[in-house]
Amino acid sequence: TGKSVLITGASRGIGAAAARAFAAEGANVALVARSRSALADLAGEIGPRAVAIPCDISRYWEMAQAVQACLTAFGRLDVLVNNAGAIEPIAHLAEADPDAWGQVIDVNLKGVFHGMRAALPVMLAAGGGTILTIGSGAAQNPVEAWSHYCASKAGALMLTKMADAENSAQGIRALSLSPGTVATQMQREIKASGINPVSQLDWEDHIPPDWVARALVWMCGAEADGYLGGEASLRDPDLRRK
Ligand code: NJP
């Protein structure tokens, strides 16, 4: 549809699926993550509608440059998808490494702020835009050994509400999507930690990343506009059966 969409964490998982889904709808996609070769491979697969922008979102100036690179490539920025996220190192609060605990905050919370801070002036100047943040049930519920992750997701949800509250009168919509338990590397890392597998789902019952991607595309469309506010969530199969 000629929109320009910047997706963080586009090198794999939900972000890569979102890039394919938005591009399939005719959008231009700016692919942001640290893994250069994975981004280049995905951009090559998608074709001229994609640009790879290597960037560590935990550093503000890298994120600001990524937004500029998107504008250079496509001339506009209509949608920011705050998707990049991290969960390692998983540890109980009483044993967490004080030097490592903040790494997850730097990506999942400060990274979301960096994206908004860099994108909002561009969107406001253009008269509008959409910000989608990938949230989590962990924003509302304490999960054993995930103190950094739960705190970061609760903060990112509030940031998303702030972005909407402060800017909705100027054409900005900010929404959060909690994606359920999705078959990605993050879930493999959770299981490999051996501390608290949380989800007892079989791997084939995990939500496929492209379902989440299609929900994100829908959230940016005319059907959702004006009808959807705040937070949306996908439910895990074990909950769906109840
Ligand atoms: O995870 P994964 P998902 N700067 O590990 C990137 C949330 N979520 O797709 O930098 C820039 O496959 C990393 O790229 P790279 C979750 O919290 C998930 O599942 O190259 N990018 C990669 O592309 C997260 O917010 C589940 O290593 C950085 C991506 O992030 C979102 O879904 C459940 C970065 C992570 O891909 C996508 O996660 C839920 C940095 N500093 C919420 N650090 C679930 N999977 O079940 C990392 O409720 N990345």
DSSP letters along 20-46, please? HHHHHTT-EEEEEES-HHHHHHHHHHH
Q: Which amino acid is at 7?
A: I
CATH of 4-234, one of 3.40.30.10, 3.40.50.300, 3.40.50.720, 3.30.499.10: 3.40.50.720
Please state the pTM of the whole predicted model: 0.97
79 to each of 109, 133, 143, 180, 216, how far by Cα in Å? 19, 11, 31, 22, 10
How far apart, in whole angstroms, are the C-alpha atoms of residue 235 and residue 29? Answer: 27
- List the catalytic residue out of 3, 60, 149, 161: 149
ipTM of the assembly? 0.99
State in Å: Cα 183 to ligand 1 middle.
12
Can you count the helices (H) and strands (E) in the chain? 9, 7
Q: Which amino acid is at 58?
A: S
Each residue's pLDDT, cut to its tens digit, for the chain (242 residues) gives 789 999 999 999 999 999 999 999 999 999 999 999 999 999 999 999 999 999 999 999 999 999 999 999 999 999 999 999 999 999 999 999 999 999 999 999 999 999 999 999 999 999 999 999 999 999 999 999 999 999 999 999 999 999 999 999 999 999 999 999 999 999 999 988 888 666 778 888 899 999 999 999 999 988 887 777 788 888 887 766 54
The preferred substitution site among 12, 196, 207, 212 for testing ligand 1, maximizing ligand atoms within 8 Å of CB, is 12
Q: Which amino acid is at 71?
A: L
CB distance 80 to 131 below 8 Å: yes
Nearest CA to ligand 1 atom 25: 85
State in Å: Cα 49 to ligand 1 middle.
22
CB distance 93 to 147 below 8 Å: yes
